[in-house]
Amino acid sequence: MNTIDHEDFEAVIGLEVHAQLLTQSKAFAPVAAQYGQAPNTQISPLCLGYPGTLPLVNENLIRYIIKMGLATNCSIAPKSIFARKNYFYPDLPKGYQISQFETPICEGGHIDIEVEGYSKCIGITRIHMEEDAGKSIHDQDPYNTLVDLNRAGTPLIEIVSEPDLRTPQEAYAYLSKIKQIVQYLEVCDGNMEEGSLRCDANVSVRLRGSEKFGTRTELKNMNSFRNVEKAIDFEIYRQIELIEAGGEVVQQTRLWDTSKMETRIMRSKEEAHDYRYFPEPDLPPIIVTNDLLDEIKEELPELAHIRQQRFIEQYQLSLVDAITLTENRYLADFFEELVLKSDQVKASVNLVLSDVLRVLNEQSIAIHNFPLSVTRLAELLNLRASDKVSSTAQQTIFNAMLEQDSSAQELAETLNLLQVSDSNYMDGLVKQVIDANPDEAARYKEGKKQLMGFFVGQVMKASKGKANPKMANELVRKYLD
Ligand code: ADP
Ligand code: MG
């Protein structure tokens, strides 16, 4: 009888994340490294592996990885070297990738992740630099494999975590944090669907309380955050079932199959590459001086967790609102610009958290593509703050602004939404309403103050919704209190 329960097991997970850097040019060649260009238009003799070509390090590759190392609390090696990672594949004309092996530039860091209900510190083993390979295309020609070398030689960093993660949710939170950091640093756009952020997951299981790690498998081919979570979840379950049935986990690389929602074997340990790493003879060691380090520290932006704290103190935001507003650097920038231009904190918070986020969601766009400028939104908030329009009208105008280029003021006029605050007009209107309703006026005077709503309602009706309700309220009080 099987006496081992699923609850008796815990998973051990370590992630290897590749981030494609936003440098203008390639890692070791003076040629553009832009995404989405026509095939084989961003190539140079070096990317093509021509004999006699020599690599030269892109200075921003070094700067960007140091930024990432500092933001993840790594120590930065004063001297590190590049290595050749050798293998043969049609999309790798040189026959090797330039990478780092024995002495990565960043080591021994950590980041905090937030999972539902708790936070946890996750170790970063190392972060190193490497160049990407090209792309083999198998689905465009029925007989041949096509090769696009635009990506060959574009700069990557690989961030390797300690095996500190225990659940698929922790892995998801860790990956989200990495994405947030690279975006804040502006070293990578963090887009997993387009492949600028890629993740391999190493997964093993062991009996709870056991010190020893189980045999791991490595999962590849997960091109979204949700898929990483699902693939790890599937793999943990598969390994536990296997062990419970008396089997053994075999060390292998497995692919996530999105349509079948399962992992399947790609290669076993015996088929694993022997990369025959050796020091790259064409590149000198990377020397990081204290001056360079200080210069880069100066350039570091305010990171999300610090900005979050500042938002809470400076704008009196709740923790939840501060987290939402700082999740994305550009959303936080947008919000702060709106506060600055409108001089209204609370209205800005509400507008961004409700209307702006709703539109981003509905249109599936990023904040930098938001159709309304901060200036136009500030005008809308000012219109409302000066009581020229009601809060319902603000909403109507916001929606209208999405459809046309007119200003908030123009729309308030054309849509007939301007509140009338003219005191003569308002005075006459309120008197007229009181005269027309003598019974209610008498009862109000006797103490039935709830009738205020009735009077303001009548004023609004008589003005066809354009009266300023606050003023109506004040005037009723003036005549009846
Ligand atoms: P490789 O280069 O063969 O992939 P590494 O030693 O660099 O191996 O480890 C890669 C990742 O695997 C790291 O993130 C590490 O935390 C993780 N890892 C190592 N051992 C285990 C294990 N037993 N279970 C889960 N993850 C592991
Ligand atoms: Mg690996």
Residue of 16, 97, 212 best suited for mutating to test ligand 1, as the one with most atoms within 8 Å of CB: 16
> What is the Å distance from ligand 2's center to 85 Cα?
13
- Ligand 1: does its nearest atom lie under 6 Å from the Cβ of 87? no
Domain assignment of residue 134, yes or no: yes
C-alpha 198/C-alpha 179 separation (Å) is: 10
Do 201 and 179 lie in one domain? The reply is: yes
Whole-number Cα distances in Å, 463 to 432, 433, 450: 11, 11, 21
- Ligand 1: does its nearest atom lie under 6 Å from the Cβ of 204? yes
Domain assignment of residue 312, yes or no: yes
Domain assignment of residue 297, yes or no: no
Structure tokens at 342: 């409108």
Please tell me the number of the ligand nearest to residue 202's CA: 1
- Ligand 1: does its nearest atom lie under 6 Å from the Cβ of 180? no
In 344-417, which ranges are continuous DSSP H helix? 345-350, 357-363, 374-385, 391-403, 408-414
Domain assignment of residue 3, yes or no: no
Structure tokens at 241: 């079932």
Q: What is the pLDDT of residue 360?
A: 96
The CB density around residue 208, as the number of other CB atoms within 10 Å, is 9
Domain assignment of residue 177, yes or no: yes
- Ligand 1: does its nearest atom lie under 6 Å from the Cβ of 99? no
Last residue of a domain, one of 233, 261, 292: 292
Residue 435 CB-density burial (10 A; 0-12 exposed, 13-18 middle, 19+ buried):
exposed
Q: Which ligand 1 atom lies nearest to the CA of residue 161?
A: 14
Residue of 87, 160, 254 best suited for mutating to test ligand 1, as the one with most atoms within 8 Å of CB: 160
Do 132 and 30 lie in one domain? The reply is: yes
Partnered with residue 207 across adjacent β-strands are 9
Domain assignment of residue 266, yes or no: yes
Do 314 and 278 lie in one domain? The reply is: no
Q: What is the pLDDT of residue 1?
A: 37
The CB density around residue 2, as the number of other CB atoms within 10 Å, is 7
Do 402 and 427 lie in one domain? The reply is: no
Last residue of a domain, one of 292, 316, 334: 292
Judge contact between 36 and 230, C-beta under 8 A: no
C-alpha dihedral (96, 98, 101, 105), degrees to nearest 10: -170
Per-residue pLDDT of the chain (481 residues; tens, 9 = 90+): 344 568 899 999 999 999 999 999 999 999 999 888 999 999 999 999 999 999 999 999 999 999 999 999 999 999 999 999 999 999 999 999 999 999 999 999 999 999 988 999 999 999 999 999 999 999 999 999 999 999 999 999 999 999 999 999 999 999 999 999 999 999 999 999 889 999 999 999 999 999 999 999 999 989 899 999 999 999 999 999 999 999 999 999 999 998 899 999 988 877 777 899 999 999 999 999 999 999 999 999 999 999 999 999 999 999 999 999 999 999 999 999 999 999 999 999 999 999 999 999 999 999 999 999 999 999 999 999 988 888 888 999 999 999 999 999 999 999 888 887 778 888 898 999 999 999 999 999 998 889 999 999 998 888 877 888 888 889 989 888 8
Q: Which long-range contacts (CB under 8 A, 24 or more apart) does 131-137 make?
A: 131/26, 131/27, 131/28, 131/97, 131/98, 131/99, 131/155, 131/156, 132/20, 132/97, 132/156, 133/89, 133/91, 133/92, 133/97, 134/47, 134/91, 134/92, 134/93, 135/91, 136/89, 136/90, 136/91
Q: What is the pLDDT of residue 5?
A: 67
> What is the Å distance from ligand 2's center to 313 Cα?
42
Domain assignment of residue 299, yes or no: no
- Ligand 1: does its nearest atom lie under 6 Å from the Cβ of 10? no
Do 264 and 316 lie in one domain? The reply is: no
Domain assignment of residue 44, yes or no: yes
> Whose C-alpha lies nearest to ligand 1, atom 24?
204
Q: What is the pLDDT of residue 266?
A: 87
Q: List the helix and strand counts (H, then E) for the chain.
A: 16, 16
CATH number for the domain spanning 454: value is 1.10.10.410
Do 361 and 246 lie in one domain? The reply is: no
Do 431 and 410 lie in one domain? The reply is: no
Q: What is the pLDDT of residue 2?
A: 45
- Ligand 1: does its nearest atom lie under 6 Å from the Cβ of 251? no
C-alpha 177/C-alpha 163 separation (Å) is: 16
Last residue of a domain, one of 414, 440, 472: 414
Do 220 and 268 lie in one domain? The reply is: yes
Q: Could you give the angle at the alpha carbon of 128 between the alpha carbons of 278 and 44, nearest 5°?
A: 75
Do 311 and 212 lie in one domain? The reply is: no
Do 408 and 435 lie in one domain? The reply is: no
Do 394 and 430 lie in one domain? The reply is: no
Do 277 and 339 lie in one domain? The reply is: no
Whole-prediction pTM: 0.87
> What is the Å distance from ligand 2's center to 50 Cα?
29
- Ligand 1: does its nearest atom lie under 6 Å from the Cβ of 202? yes
Q: What is the pLDDT of residue 4?
A: 55
Q: Domain tally for the chain? A: 3
C-alpha 124/C-alpha 16 separation (Å) is: 10
- Ligand 1: does its nearest atom lie under 6 Å from the Cβ of 182? no
Structural domain boundaries, residue 338? 304-414
Residue 178: name the closest of 194, 193, 189, 166 by CA.
189
Whole-number Cα distances in Å, 133 to 17, 34, 42: 16, 14, 13
